[in-house]
């Protein structure tokens, strides 16, 4: 074998399986393949050895090093003659262990990940000895990372409980731990392998309590904000009245209140009928408050106030991008908002026909479909509807669907007009007077009998709303502390009842007439008091007394 052949032999082998050849001549020379040289980097050391120590010490040493790398090795020895010189060839047939090297690579990746992902991480075995310690953690507590491995964790981390968790198997979440002058927040999790406790992993969540407090404050602020919005939503969508706010003692009124209280107990749809201003909305609020849904929201929809093309989106909501101008994230419809509560559909007679069909479906299926949506959502809502129109007439005219009318009219409550329950007028006037005195910050002596008489006999086409306006107007025009006299009633009301002049108490009118007569007679007598007394047919002393009484000069 010449040098060239030997060189080829030395460098043979593939990536996964390669052969290292060592040639020992005359006890002193050594040649190894480059592959082995690169891998073991100890070639020069072999060169210095002799044949006997090479075989006894270095071959086992090289084999051990190869095995430690996870590969397997097989040694063969052959005696050959190279250019007449006897030499010994050692063939090391090395097989790379792919699995082992993959595992090594995975381990390296994992450690790499730990270094880059976690702020601080420590892993101990079941006896509390450190197996892994991330650089960030080491930097934070100012220790040498490499030196920490293998030490007992209590020697590395002050006030640690890692060794306790590794023994107890009980997780400790978000615990405060003092490190130097700082408080840190850590989580210690026991580690199991084949259901056996093998150690624990500790994670540093916050490097100082300040970070945690800042996060905690932020969370608190967000929570407050959510509570505020929830509160605002509930405030805007809550029933503000209950039956005790409804004033009236007439038989007709008391009867309808009783019916409404019974209806409130169930879940059936209620239709409130009555002229405008009779208190239908107040009834709807009160029914919700007296029902089992009182903890839920009360959502009011005025069907007459919403433009036709917006009505569907308003009632059932819409999905994002369902039309130009649709809000990002879509919008909740009133039915969804009222889930668990009551929806009050005021002026239901104004609902356009195409929407009546959709409403009918919701009432039947108890499901809503958002505009632009592909799915339906079930809602648990009680419906209370109201109208001042005759739905039957609308049905006859083809403006209201008969099927919807029946769906709504499960329980019908008719609220009588104020003129049909005159006994309610007086208590209502007193109630409204007190209400508006408080609102306007004024006081009055009360309502005189003439005014009450006029009010009781008035027809009130606008019902209680009209009475409310009359009382507010009077209190605004009156001097503080005055009586509510007919002077402060609207002319229209007095005219309709043939009441042409203000009627004031007789004594007041007599006083006023006396003062007028005195002023007139003094004018006629050009200030001569004796002459004026003569004209008036009274004595001078009496005239002087009356001048003083009326504070005339
Ligand atoms: N029984 C009552 N006691 C006290 N106030 C009442 C009573 N009924 C009605 N009101 C008052 O009268 C006004 C009109 O009532 P409400 O709005 O409930 O009437 P409505 O029948 O719903 O009217 P519309 O048909 O015009 O919507 C409200 O300010 C309400 O507070």
For 426-480, give the secondary structure using H, E and C.
HHHHHHHHHHHHHHHCCCCCEECHHHHHHHHCCCCCCHHHHHHHHHHHHHHHCCC
The answer to whether 197 and 125 are in contact (CB under 8 A) is no
Q: Which two structure tokens, joined as six digits, stand for 490? A: 């609207």
pLDDT for res 3:
43
pLDDT for res 101:
62
Other CB atoms within 10 A of residue 523 CB: 10
Closest among 259, 410, 272 to 347, alpha carbons compared = 272
Whose CA is closest to atom 24 on ligand 1? 276
Average pLDDT for 170-198: 86
Report angle CA 351, 356, 360 to the nearest 5 degrees.
Answer: 140
Tell me the range of 191-195, 281-285, 536-540 where mean pLDDT is highest.
Answer: 281-285
Report angle CA 351, 357, 359 to the nearest 5 degrees.
Answer: 65
**pTM of model > 0.80:** no
13 or 337: whose pLDDT is higher? Answer: 337
**Cα(60)–Cα(292) distance, rounded to whole angstroms?**
87
Other CB atoms within 10 A of residue 341 CB: 23
**Cα(275)–Cα(418) distance, rounded to whole angstroms?**
9
**Cα(461)–Cα(444) distance, rounded to whole angstroms?**
26
pLDDT for res 16:
36
Whose CA is closest to atom 8 on ligand 1? 279
The answer to whether 199 and 125 are in contact (CB under 8 A) is yes
Average pLDDT for 384-397: 95
Give CA separation, 170 vs 186, 201, 210, 520, in Å: 14, 12, 27, 107
Q: Is the pLDDT reported for residue 135 higher than 80? A: yes
- Indicate the SS3 state at residue 6: helix
Whose CA is closest to atom 16 on ligand 1? 279
Whose CA is closest to atom 9 on ligand 1? 279
Q: Is the pLDDT reported for residue 46 higher than 90? A: no
In degrees and rounded to multiples of 5, residue 355 shows phi and psi of -80, -25
Residue linked to tokens 């929809």: 301
261 or 80: whose pLDDT is higher? Answer: 261
Q: Is the pLDDT reported for residue 551 higher than 50? A: yes
- Reported as a pLDDT band with limits 50, 70 and 90, residue 137 is confident
The residues facing 78 across adjacent strands are 89
Distance 255 CA to ligand 1 centre (A): 17
> What's the helix, strand, coil split of the chain in %, to 5?
50, 20, 30
pLDDT for res 516:
78
- Out of 247, 282, 289, 385, mutate this one to test ligand 1's pocket (max ligand atoms within 8 Å of CB): namely 282
30 or 58: whose pLDDT is higher? Answer: 58
Q: Is the pLDDT reported for residue 162 higher than 90? A: yes
Tens digit of pLDDT for each residue in 470-521? 999 999 999 888 899 999 999 888 776 655 445 566 777 778 778 878 888 8
Distance 499 CA to ligand 1 centre (A): 28
Tens digit of pLDDT for each residue in 265-299? 999 999 999 999 999 999 999 999 999 999 899 99
Average pLDDT for 32-40: 48
pLDDT for res 244:
92
Tell me the range of 106-115, 319-328, 534-543 where mean pLDDT is highest.
Answer: 534-543
Distance 491 CA to ligand 1 centre (A): 24
In degrees and rounded to multiples of 5, residue 138 shows phi and psi of -60, -45
- Reported as a pLDDT band with limits 50, 70 and 90, residue 39 is very low
**Cα(98)–Cα(107) distance, rounded to whole angstroms?**
14
Indicate whether this complex's ipTM tops 0.90: yes
Distance 293 CA to ligand 1 centre (A): 22
**Cα(467)–Cα(279) distance, rounded to whole angstroms?**
12
Distance 440 CA to ligand 1 centre (A): 20
- Reported as a pLDDT band with limits 50, 70 and 90, residue 176 is confident
pLDDT-wise least confident of 78-82, 312-316, 470-474, 537-541: 78-82
- Distance of alpha carbon 294 from its chain centroid, rounded? 20
Q: For residue 309, what are the contacts with CB-CB under 8 A and spacing of at least 6? A: none
> How do strand 172-179 and strand 342-346 relate by DSSP bridges?
unpaired
Distance 477 CA to ligand 1 centre (A): 23
């Amino acid at each position: 074998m010449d040098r060239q052949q030997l060189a080829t032999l030395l460098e043979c082998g593939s990536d996964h399986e390669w052969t290292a050849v060592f040639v020992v001549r005359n006890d002193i020379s050594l040649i190894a393949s480059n592959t082995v040289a690169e891998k073991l980097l100890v070639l020069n050391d072999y060169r210095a050895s002799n044949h006997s120590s090479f075989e006894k010490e270095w071959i086992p040493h090289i084999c051990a090093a190869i095995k430690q790398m996870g590969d397997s090795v097989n040694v063969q020895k052959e005696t050959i003659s190279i250019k007449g010189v006897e030499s010994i060839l050692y063939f090391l047939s090395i097989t790379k262990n792919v699995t082992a090297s993959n595992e090594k690579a995975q381990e390296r990746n994992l450690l790499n990940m730990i270094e880059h992902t976690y702020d601080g991480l420590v892993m101990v075995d079941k006896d509390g000895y450190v197996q892994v310690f991330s650089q960030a953690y080491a930097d934070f507590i100012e220790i040498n990372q490499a030196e920490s491995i293998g030490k007992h964790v209590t020697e590395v981390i002050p006030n640690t409980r890692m060794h306790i968790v590794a023994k107890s198997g009980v997780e400790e979440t978000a615990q405060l731990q003092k490190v130097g002058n700082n408080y840190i927040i850590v989580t210690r999790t026991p580690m199991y392998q084949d259901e056996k406790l093998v150690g624990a992993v500790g994670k540093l969540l916050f490097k100082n309590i300040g970070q945690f407090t800042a996060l905690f404050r932020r969370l608190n602020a967000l929570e407050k904000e959510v509570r505020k919005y929830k509160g605002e939503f509930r405030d805007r969508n809550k029933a503000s009245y209950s039956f005790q706010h409804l004033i009236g003692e007439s038989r007709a009124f008391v009867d309808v209140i009783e019916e409404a209280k019974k209806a409130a107990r169930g879940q059936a749809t209620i239709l409130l009928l009555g002229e405008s201003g009779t208190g239908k909305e107040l009834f709807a609020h009160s029914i919700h408050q007296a029902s089992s849904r009182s903890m839920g929201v009360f959502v009011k929809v005025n069907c007459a106030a919403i433009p036709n093309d917006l009505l569907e989106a308003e009632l059932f909501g819409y999905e994002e991008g369902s039309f130009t101008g649709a809000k990002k994230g879509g919008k909740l419809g009133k039915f969804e908002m009222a889930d668990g509560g009551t929806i009050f559909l005021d002026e239901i007679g104004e609902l356009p026909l195409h929407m009546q069909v959709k409403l009918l479906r919701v009432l039947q299926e108890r499901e809503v479909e958002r505009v632009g949506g592909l799915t339906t959502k079930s809602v648990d809502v009680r419906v209370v509807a109201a109208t001042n129109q005759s739905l039957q007439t609308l049905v006859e005219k083809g403006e209201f669907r008969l099927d919807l009318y029946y769906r709504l009219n499960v329980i019908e409550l008719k609220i009588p007009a104020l003129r049909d329950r005159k006994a309610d007028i007086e208590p209502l006037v007193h109630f409204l007077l007190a209400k508006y005195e408080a609102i306007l910050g004024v006081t009055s002596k009360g309502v005189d009998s003439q005014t009450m008489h006029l009010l009781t006999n008035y027809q009130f086409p606008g019902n209680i709303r009209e009475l409310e306006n009359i009382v507010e107007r009077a209190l605004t025009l009156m001097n503080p502390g005055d009586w509510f006299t007919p002077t402060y009633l609207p002319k229209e009301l007095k005219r309709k009842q043939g009441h042409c002049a203000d009627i004031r108490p007789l004594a007041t009118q007599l006083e006023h007439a006396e003062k007028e007569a005195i002023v007139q007679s003094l004018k006629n007598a050009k200030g001569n008091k004796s002459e004026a007394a003569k004209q008036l047919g009274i004595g001078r002393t009496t005239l002087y007394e009356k001048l003083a009484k009326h504070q005339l000069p």
